[in-house]
């Protein structure tokens, strides 16, 4: 009877490691989308000089922008989209801090503001990619190792 549970224990531990690796990859994907969002908005602002609502309309195919509910005020909608989209608190805070400071300068200042946040988001993305590279395999192997150890102890 105990032999039946051994593969289950092993697979459970391996699944836990794989789940943590998937969480790291999800953060990387979220930040990639956010970097693309900022880049699209910056390009649209440079060429059209529209307000942020107009810029968001022109970038409507972006996954993050699609989460922004047009029925609410823009800061509230952006914050809500950030809460809904990002799984990591630091990334959520980065996105929210963007909308809190946007629109307080002229066009050239707004372009510089986009550039600043592109840099911050890019740094966070580099950090996420590094975590996937360094920790992804570690979590998977650790899950497998702990599963094997648990199986050996149960034998």
Q: What is the reported pLDDT for 4?
A: 74
Prediction pTM value = 0.84
CA dihedral 34, 30, 65, 105 (to 10 degrees): -30
Give the pLDDT of residue 54: 82
Convert 68-97 to b/e letters by CB count within 10 Å (16 or more is b). Answer: beeeeebeebbbebbeebbebeebbebbbe
Which pLDDT value is given to residue 96?
92
Each domain of the chain, given as residue ranges in start order, spans: 2-154
Helix/strand/coil for 7? helix
| Average pLDDT, consecutive stretches of 10 residues, N- to C-terminus, the chain (155 residues) | 73 86 93 92 84 81 85 87 93 92 81 92 94 88 84 79
pLDDT value of position 53:
80
pLDDT at 2: 63
């Amino acid at each position: 009877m105990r032999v039946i549970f051994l593969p289950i224990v092993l697979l459970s531990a391996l699944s836990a490691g794989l789940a943590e690796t998937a969480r790291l990859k999800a953060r990387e994907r979220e930040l990639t989308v956010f970097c693309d969002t900022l880049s699209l908005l910056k390009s649209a602002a440079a060429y059209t000089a529209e307000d942020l609502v107009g810029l968001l309309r022109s970038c409507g195919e972006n996954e993050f922008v699609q989460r922004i509910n047009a029925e609410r005020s823009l800061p509230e909608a952006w914050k809500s989209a950030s809460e809904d989209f990002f799984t990591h608190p630091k990334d959520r805070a980065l996105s929210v801090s963007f909308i809190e400071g946007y629109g307080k300068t002229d066009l050239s200042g707004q372009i510089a503001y986009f550039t600043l946040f592109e840099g911050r988001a890019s740094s966070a993305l580099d950090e996420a990619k590094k975590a996937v590279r360094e920790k992804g395999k570690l979590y998977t192997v650790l899950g497998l190792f702990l599963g094997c150890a648990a199986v050996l102890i149960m034998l």
